[in-house]
Amino acid sequence: MSYRELRKFTETLRRLNYPQSISIESFRTPNFELMAEVLYWMVQRLDPSIPIHDDINTEDDRVEFLNGITTEVAAKSHI
């Protein structure tokens, strides 16, 4: 992501009252844990009853996490 996109993303999270302060520097290197935390938070805002596999220790767990979120958001959004 460009600096401009990162700045806009972090500002949007602040406006949405994301519970932690996220700096642009947090995304200078790949940071799956932070991305997963933000995705989890966003999905919980959409619908707190959505079951999410939150174990992201291995590559397979990460794939399962992303597939689960994608499936649930698509179903809730009627996509």
Query: Residue 59 belongs to what H/E stretch?
Result: helix 59-76
Residue 19 CB contacts under 8 Å (≥ 6 apart), including other chains: 41
Residue 32 has pLDDT above 90, yes or no: yes
Residue 60 has pLDDT above 90, yes or no: yes
pLDDT band at 35 (very low <50, low <70, confident <90, very high): very high
| Portion of the chain with pLDDT greater than 70, in percent | 100
Residue 40 has pLDDT above 80, yes or no: yes
What are the angstrom distances between the C-alpha of 7 and each of 30, 61, 68?
16, 29, 28
Name residue 10's amino acid: T
For the chain, give the mean pLDDT. Answer: 90
